[in-house]
Chain A
Amino acid sequence: EVQLVESGGGLVQPGGSLRLSCGASGFTFSDHYMDWVRQAPGKGLEWVGRIRIKANGYTTEYAASVKGRFTISRDDSKNSLYLQMNSLETEDTAVYYCARTRSYSPNDYWGQGTLVTVSS
């Protein structure tokens, strides 16, 4: 059974940093691109970014709203995905989901999400 489990969310002050993790099981993690998608309270879904697989050089893409502040990485030996969030703003408050994908494919499996609250 495919499982994605996010962790690391919490309360952080504006300007602060936080690192989210996503643990994967039930599939060959190293074969899949991985996305982060977020959802602000009461709002819609916003794609945050993507990391590709080793064969594609672990290249990354980011939404304009987070580029330069957020960094996506992965450790295939640990079946884990990460989201390093720096210079956090109140507008970054959201539930953050990790989601599995492939090249030119939708997100077929999602984690349960972890809540990040940016507030003083």
Chain B
Amino acid sequence: DIQMTQSPSTLSASVGDRVTITCRASQSINGRLAWYQQKPGKAPNLLIYKASSLESGVPSRFSGSGSGTEFTLTISSLQPDDFATYYCQQYNSYSITFGQGTRLEIK
């Protein structure tokens, strides 16, 4: 299986900050990388697909980049609603895998 490694596991930041989360794949995934936001007690919500495409309805402060095995999710100016847990997901192989998650908390 393709292993997905996210960093950091926890990130403390303030409203208005620019933050970046990194996801590394154990092998090339042909850009088939998604990012999800999950709030407590809720299902994950798709933010980014194909590494850098913004899902409809997602605010433009969210952006994704990367290729090969290294990918990043950037939030340009944190809003109170953004404090949540973020997961990357590769969907290149028959066996889908997620990163372990990054908890974004208020500093």
Residues of A participating in the B interface, judged by any CB pair closer than 8 Å: 35, 37, 44-47, 50, 61, 63-64, 97, 101, 104-108, 110-113
Contact = CB atoms under 8 A, between A and B. Distances in A.
B49 interface: yes
A110 B39 CA distance: 13
- The number of chain B residues touching the other chain, given as a range, is 20 to 34
Given A45-B98, A47-B98, A106 B43 contact: no
A112 B43 contact: yes
B49 A106 contact: yes
Contacts of B97: 47
B93 to A, nearest CB: 9
B41 to A, nearest CB: 9
Given A46-B98, A105-B91, 12 more contacts: A44-B100, A47-B96, A47-B97, A63-B95, A64-B1, A105-B49, A106-B89, A107-B34, A107-B36, A107-B44, A110-B45, A111-B43
Nearest to B1: A64
Contacts of A61: 94-95
Contact of A44 (B32, B95, B96, B98): B98
